[in-house]
Amino acid sequence: QSALTQPPSASGSPGQSVTISCTGTSGDIGGYNYVSWYQQHLGKAPKLIIYEVSKRPSGVPDRFSASKSGNTASLTVSGLQAEDEADYYCSSYAGSKNALFGGGTKLTVL
């Protein structure tokens, strides 16, 4: 069982928006503004798409946005495209503990 909880799957049609949640505790997500999100296409390495809760690295489309409320972080993909179909993982700083990952969410574009 992963330290951070994500839904195993999510889906949406092209052009729609979908939101993926990531739930932790006050000792990780709730306690720090250091949450990252990674996109992983099948057979590929993870790619950073969000850091520090809501910041996007250069080159990541603004269709990807994220936020945090309490112990839950959320990733929203707007204007879904076929290329967005992938696994998405959240990760959070956890103080004296090492970084935690969520179990991953498989996003399907219908």
**How many CA atoms within 13 Å lie on the side-chain side of 6?**
27
* Interface positions, 32-61, toward other proteins (CB under 8 A): 32, 34, 36, 38, 44-48, 51, 57
- State the CB neighbour count (10 A cutoff) for residue 48: 13
Distance CA 110, CA 12 (A): 6
Specify the residue, 15 or 95, whose C-beta has the smaller distance to other proteins. Answer: 95
Residue 101 C-beta: closest distance to other proteins, Å? 5
Position among 77, 91, 107, 109 found at the interface with other proteins (CB under 8 A): 91
Q: Does residue number 26 form part of the binding site for other proteins (CB under 8 A)? A: no
Say if strands 72-77 and 105-109 run parallel, antiparallel, or are unpaired.
unpaired
Q: Does residue number 78 form part of the binding site for other proteins (CB under 8 A)? A: no
Distance CA 93, CA 26 (A): 11
Residue 110 C-beta: closest distance to other proteins, Å? 22
Q: Which residue has the tokens 């790619």?
A: 47
Q: Which residues bind other proteins (CB under 8 A)?
A: 2, 32, 34, 36, 38, 44-48, 51, 57, 89, 91-94, 98-104
